[in-house]
């Protein structure tokens, strides 16, 4: 638990308003809270809300005699001791509130379980995040899940809190919190907004010296499975370069120099260039060796200077929502901007500057079958120079158009929100039954991360001058997370911690004689498996490193030639892939023809 208690000097007559911020985790399939000794990275949602409350404290918005203390807890790496929160709040006359922060749909049931005893003790509780925002953005009125919170006396916050936190804090201090604060149709500008921040000791409960921040919000595209456009909008709202510099310097001063910029599509942040220019200055003139992971789209390489400036700005990894290689599926999901004809050139543009590529691949689009998805993964392995690939179930997340449409149709949707984590089959699929879909998801990881393909990934990376020891470690993480820990790598961490009493209330508390021997056996089996995978990957790494002097190339590493569009499986595996190639060719002919005419 991390506390930022203010030094108040004289205590006489002063009061302390206590804010406990909890970023909840959720339950695994056995009903236990997912918590680690070290979680992968700090949550930007927690950093944003912490920054906003800290700003309220610094401005003393409750008056000169009231100090605001903030405690920030990320449940993915710290146990939430509800009994202690209740005792501390009680000792303070319940002058304060508990904020359940950045609550996703899969974290909503856990949030209610945390809220219940707090409300019973008379403590004010406010829930914010994508579930509340997504539901209020897409539906008129309050659904049963949100009503359950209201019935407990929990306050709901929808929309973004920049510029709105003063009201919440003042109302909480006056004991007059409203049931709902709904700012979903009034999104704030981010220029000069309070910056996200978490103190270093909170960041250090995660794996590396990496922290997260958003340089902007919103995305112009319209993918039907996406929640972001309905919650954060389609317009680019962004922080200025001065604020980005402040975020970097504040973290750098506490020894943190690696960042995940959480913008869902940094390439469509309208100020990507001034932001990169400022970071380039910090790196090249001020000697700040800061590095970044960013998320981009599959057309980003066509933006003039984008890739070159990303490299100079210290971007070392990019994440792309590749989603699928079947154009029919992409069209069905309104992901029209994803052009399979551009995939390889885009990946090669990043590779040419030595930047690693992560991509997300969604399983369960309407045209997928177990066979077609397996074949598609093999095509990716052979024909696309991708490093890390991660798989997700197509999920109707609350806040998305898919969820709204299916709800309106009365389609059967799994009622357990805890499962809305992109790792469960939640709706009937036209071509696969539930078991087939689940098998496909489990097998997809094994199909991609074979020892042979790991060797190919490392050979390709070495040819581009990428640090393959670091890449091998990340591959170990992604290749073994589901098989060993039974969770997606983005939900994984180092050393899983479980408490016998932290189980979904619907499930029984296991007796001591059953729980602990099982925990010990599980620990041993898991670590044996990790050791075996690590040994396999280490041997591959050594073999590849020993051949560093030998040139390496393969089909995936060469730019797409016109004649390859007739032979590559990526472009010929079905009719719509062939149509996509024909379409791209027509556009090229038309644009080069028009250019030739205007030149004449
Ligand atoms: C960065 C990120 C991650 C990171 C870090 C987590 C984090 N929250 O920072 C990582 C990689 C770990 C991650 C993992 C996952 N993520 Co994620 N992630 C994001 C991403 C891209 C940015 C989050 C963010 O910083 N947003 C900006 C903040 C400021 O917005 P916010 O959280 O809504 O908070 C604002 C308001 O809601 C409000 N507010 C929030 N809390 C509170 C509390 C109070 C008291 C008040 C007053 C106000 C308030 O004020 C805040 C400031 O304006 C979002 C997409 C997005 N654009 O948000 C997806 C997103 C949140 N993730 C999502 C999912 C599904 C996951 C995973 C389950 C996926 C998986 N299988 O791996 C895991 C879950 C792991 C976990 N333990 O969280 C979904 C959630 C959808 C939903 N309906 O629930 C999103 C929306 C993306 C999507 N696909 O739609 N994620
Ligand atoms: S590109 Fe990404 S952020 Fe943009 S609409 Fe599609 S899924 Fe959402």
Residues 371, 403: contact at Cβ < 8 Å? Answer: no
pLDDT confidence of residue 200:
83
pLDDT confidence of residue 436:
98
Q: 3-class secondary structure for 82-131?
A: HHHHHHHHHHCCCCEEEEECCCCHHHHHHHHHHHHHHHHCCCEEEEECHH
Its sign, for the CA torsion 393, 396, 397, 401, is: positive
589 exposure class (CB count in 10 Å sphere: 0-12, 13-18, 19+): exposed
Residue 31 has pLDDT above 80, yes or no: yes
For the chain, the 3-state helix, strand and coil shares in percent, each to the nearest 5, are 45, 15, 40
Reported as a single tens digit per residue, the pLDDT across 279-306 is 999 999 999 999 999 999 999 999 999 9
Residue 197 has pLDDT above 60, yes or no: yes
- C-alpha 116 – ligand 1 centre gap (Å): 23
Closest CA to 56 of 165, 158, 162: 165
Gap between the Cα atoms of 414 and 399, Å rounded: 16
Residues 82, 106: contact at Cβ < 8 Å? Answer: no
Query: How sure is the predictor about 595, in pLDDT bands with cuts at 50, 70 and 90?
Result: low
Q: What is the mean pLDDT of residues 163-180?
A: 98
- C-alpha 265 – ligand 1 centre gap (Å): 14
Closest CA to 96 of 180, 6, 16: 16
Q: What is the dihedral of CA 284, 289, 290, 295, to 10 degrees?
A: 70
- C-alpha 321 – ligand 2 centre gap (Å): 8
Pairing type for strands 258-261 and 388-393 reads: unpaired
Q: 3-class secondary structure for 40-93?
A: CCCCHHHHHHHHHHHHHHHCCCCCCCEEEEEEEEECCCCCCCHHHHHHHHHHCC
Pairing type for strands 35-38 and 494-497 reads: antiparallel
Q: What is the mean pLDDT of residues 403-413?
A: 96
- C-alpha 332 – ligand 1 centre gap (Å): 25
Residue 596 has pLDDT above 80, yes or no: no
Ligand nearest to the CA of 394: 1
In the chain, pLDDT over 70 holds for what percent of residues?
96
Other Cβ atoms closer than 10 A to 303: 16
Closest CA to 536 of 436, 450, 468: 450
In this predicted model, which residue has the larger pLDDT, 13 or 66? 66
The reply to whether ligand 1 has any atom less than 6 angstroms from the CB of 101 is yes
Gap between the Cα atoms of 577 and 339, Å rounded: 10
- Supply the pTM of this predicted model: 0.94
Which residue puts its alpha carbon closest to atom 8 of ligand 2? 226
Ligand 2: list residues with CB < 6 Å.
219, 221-223, 226, 228-229, 264-265, 297, 321
Query: How sure is the predictor about 215, in pLDDT bands with cuts at 50, 70 and 90?
Result: very high
pLDDT confidence of residue 250:
95
Residues 360, 311: contact at Cβ < 8 Å? Answer: no
Reported as a single tens digit per residue, the pLDDT across 346-390 is 999 999 999 999 999 999 999 999 999 999 999 999 999 999 999
Reported as a single tens digit per residue, the pLDDT across 230-286 is 999 999 999 999 999 999 999 999 999 999 999 999 999 999 999 999 999 999 999
- C-alpha 388 – ligand 2 centre gap (Å): 20
Reported as a single tens digit per residue, the pLDDT across 135-148 is 999 999 999 999 99
Which residue puts its alpha carbon closest to atom 13 of ligand 1? 490
Query: How sure is the predictor about 338, in pLDDT bands with cuts at 50, 70 and 90?
Result: confident
Query: How sure is the predictor about 573, in pLDDT bands with cuts at 50, 70 and 90?
Result: confident
């Amino acid at each position: 638990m991390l506390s930022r208690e203010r030094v108040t000097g004289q205590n006489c007559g002063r009061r302390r308003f206590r804010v406990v911020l909890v970023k909840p985790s959720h339950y695994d399939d056995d009903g236990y809270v997912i918590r680690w000794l070290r979680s992968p990275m700090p949550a930007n949602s927690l950093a944003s809300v912490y920054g906003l409350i800290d700003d309220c404290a610094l401005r003393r918005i409750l008056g000169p005699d009231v100090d605001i203390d903030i405690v920030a807890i990320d449940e993915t790496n710290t146990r939430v001791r509800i009994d202690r929160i209740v005792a501390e709040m009680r000792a303070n006359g319940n002058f304060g509130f508990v904020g359940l922060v950045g609550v996703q749909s899969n974290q909503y049931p856990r949030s209610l379980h945390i809220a219940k005893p707090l409300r019973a003790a008379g403590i004010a509780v406010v829930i914010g995040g994508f579930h509340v925002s997504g539901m209020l953005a897409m539906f008129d009125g309050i659904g049963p899940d949100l009503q359950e919170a209201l019935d407990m006396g929990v306050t709901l916050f929808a929309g973004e809190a920049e510029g709105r936190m003063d009201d919440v804090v003042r109302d909480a201090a006056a004991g007059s919190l409203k049931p709902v604060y709904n700012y979903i149709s009034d999104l704030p500008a981010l220029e000069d907004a309070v910056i996200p921040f978490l103190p270093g000791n909170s960041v250090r409960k995660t794996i590396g010296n990496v922290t997260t921040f958003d340089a902007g919000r919103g995305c112009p595209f319209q993918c039907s499975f996406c929640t972001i456009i309905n919650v954060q909008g389609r317009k680019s709202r962004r922080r200025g370069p001065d604020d980005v510099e402040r975020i970097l310097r504040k973290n750098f001063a506490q020894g943190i120099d690696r960042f995940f910029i959480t913008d869902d599509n940094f390439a469509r942040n309208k100020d990507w260039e001034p932001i990169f220019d400022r970071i380039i200055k910090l790196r090249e003139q001020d000697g700040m060796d800061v590095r970044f992971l960013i998320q981009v789209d599959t057309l980003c390489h066509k933006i003039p200077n984008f890739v070159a400036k990303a490299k100079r700005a210290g971007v070392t990894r990019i994440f792309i929502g590749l989603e699928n290689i079947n154009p029919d599926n992409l069209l069905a999901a309104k992901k029209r901007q994803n052009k399979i004809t551009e995939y390889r050139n885009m990946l090669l543009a990043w590779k040419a500057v030595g930047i690693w590529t992560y991509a997300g691949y969604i399983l369960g689009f309407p045209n997928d079958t177990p066979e077609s998805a397996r074949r598609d993964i093999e095509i990716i392995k052979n024909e696309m120079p991708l490093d890390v690939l991660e798989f997700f179930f197509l999920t109707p997340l609350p806040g998305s158009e898919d969820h709204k449409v299916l709800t309106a149709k009365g389609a059967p949707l799994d009622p357990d929100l805890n499962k809305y984590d992109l790792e469960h089959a939640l709706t009937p699929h036209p071509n696969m039954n539930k078991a087939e879909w689940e098998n496909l998801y489990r097998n997809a990881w094994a199909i991609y991360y074979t020892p042979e393909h790991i060797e190919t990934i490392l050979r390709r990376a070495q040819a581009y001058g990428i640090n393959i020891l670091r890449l091998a470690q990340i591959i170990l993480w992604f290749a073994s997370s589901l098989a060993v820990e039974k969770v997606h790598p983005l939900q994984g961490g180092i050393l899983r911690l479980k408490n016998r009493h932290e189980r979904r209330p619907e499930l029984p508390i296991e007796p001591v004689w059953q729980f602990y021997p099982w925990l010990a056996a599980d620990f041993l089996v898991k670590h044996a498996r990790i050791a075996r995978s690590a040994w396999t990957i280490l041997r591959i790494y050594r073999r590849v490193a020993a051949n560093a002097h030998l040139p390496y190339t393969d089909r995936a590493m060469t730019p797409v030639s016109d004649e390859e569009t007739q032979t590559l499986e990526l472009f010929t595996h079905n009719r719509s892939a062939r149509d996509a190639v024909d379409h791209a060719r027509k556009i090229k002919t038309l644009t080069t023809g028009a250019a030739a005419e205007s030149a004449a």
